[in-house]
Amino acid sequence: MTATVTIFHNVVWSRHKGAVFSALHNLSAAGTIRYAMVQIADTETDRIGFSEVDYSFHRYPMRKLFDGCYEDVPTWKMIARLTTEVLQTKSELVVLPGYHRPEYWAMLAACIVTRKRRAVFCDSTAFDRPRRLVTSIPKRIFFSLCDGYFGFGERSREYLMSLGAKRDRIFVPCQAAALPRTFSAERALAARSSARLDEAPVFLYVGRLSEEKAIGTLLDAFARVRKSRPNATLRIVGTGPQHDALHARAHTLHFGDAVQFVGSLQDEPLSNEYFGATCLVLPSYSEPWGLVVNEALSHGCPAVVSDRCGCMPELIVEGETGLSFPAGDVDALAQALLEATSRFRDVGQTARACMARIARFDPRAAATNIERGCATMLREPTDDQAAARARGARQ
């Protein structure tokens, strides 16, 4: 018998979710679960200007509830629409997009009232969501009322378990990078080897130019690297609220052309940045996962990441696929960057190690984990069924 699951997601902008949901749709064709995908809006405020909404990554049937930016929809209207959607759906399981907005609590309540099973996406870790009593109690309540959880990785699992979730109800990893449609691992290996014929150090940052990304720490560390490697360059890809401040900081440090702000890039232009870099650098103070690390490793490019990055346990094999350092430690980051120039000198060997590590983090694998979680939750009896069995046992 075919079961149905409705999955809600916040914005179409997320290419990586589009890739995963497309893979999930393909899996459903041969399975016993059918998925209804509901995207709530096009984009979010902090994504505007970073990249355009690209529907081509969403190769599955979906409904979109609101045009434009998520934050532009009044909260009351969002609550009313999402609550109605949950109340009216015939699906046995509803997957909620999160737990941190009032409308998600309303959706949870609607699931309880209509006795639907419910799961929730959680990308948080203890590193980016420090424990506070005033917030941990509501989270515990929310999670206790869910039947399952979909997370990014082991740090998401640990965070959920610290708030009372059961290990066997947590399914990870449920994310993957959305690579260019023309991407080929075989061609990537050749392109990586060709692009790194020049051994001059090239460090690469990709992401939002915002405070939690700790790009100021990267600039300070790069200044120290330049003292011993004056031919080193740093390329910064992205846009964000700290753009002007970081430009000013780079000018103060007298970098000249050694630091290049190249703006927002996607697809092949971004692939070329990964191919040509000694390593990606992700120095974040707060980073639930870090999908740019997935992208870098897929292109054969190792990554230097802070210990706050959620992907570190799964993706960073010290000295093979990357290096790690304590977040905010300028000296440690500078040392890691210098070490990267020697550790990853064998471009071919490093690229093969990176690609082997990232191979199991593709959209199909993420979709398989989501499907496994949905199947597990759907096999469990509802509260009514469990109560009926209990009554039968007593009789």
pLDDT in the model for residue 385: 43
pLDDT in the model for residue 1: 65
- Give 52's pLDDT tier (boundaries 50, 70, 90): confident
Give residue-wise pLDDT tens across range 182-202: 899 999 999 999 998 878 999
pLDDT in the model for residue 160: 95
* Res. 222: pLDDT tops 60: yes
* Res. 48: pLDDT tops 90: no
pLDDT in the model for residue 303: 98
* Res. 371: pLDDT tops 70: yes
| For residues 118-136, average pLDDT | 79
- Give 133's pLDDT tier (boundaries 50, 70, 90): low
User: Which residue from 145, 143, 141, 137 is spatially nearest to 113, judged by alpha carbons?
Assistant: 145
Cβ neighbourhood burial of 60 (10 Å; 0-12, 13-18, 19+) = middle
Q: Domain 185-358 is of which CATH architecture?
A: 3-Layer(aba) Sandwich (3.40)
| For residues 339-365, average pLDDT | 96
pLDDT in the model for residue 107: 98
* Res. 122: pLDDT tops 90: yes
pLDDT in the model for residue 381: 67
- CATH 3.40.50.2000 domain residues, the chain: 3-176+362-394, 185-358
* Res. 380: pLDDT tops 80: no
pLDDT in the model for residue 128: 74
Residues of the chain with pLDDT > 70: what percent? 94
Whole-model pTM: value is 0.92
pLDDT in the model for residue 29: 87
pLDDT in the model for residue 395: 45
pLDDT in the model for residue 51: 75
Distance CA 36, CA 95 (A): 10
| For residues 328-345, average pLDDT | 97
- Give 382's pLDDT tier (boundaries 50, 70, 90): low
Average pLDDT, whole number, for the chain?
A: 92
User: Which residue from 271, 247, 278, 276 is spatially nearest to 260, judged by alpha carbons?
Assistant: 247
* Res. 384: pLDDT tops 60: no
Backbone angles phi, psi at 180, to 5 degrees: -55, 145
Cβ neighbourhood burial of 229 (10 Å; 0-12, 13-18, 19+) = middle
The region of weakest confidence among 49-63, 296-310, 320-334 is: 49-63
pLDDT in the model for residue 393: 39
At the topology level, CATH places domain 3-176+362-394 in Rossmann fold (3.40.50)
Q: What type of residue is 314? A: E
The CA distances from residue 115 to 93, 98, 110, 111, 332, in Å, are 10, 19, 8, 6, 52
pLDDT in the model for residue 335: 98
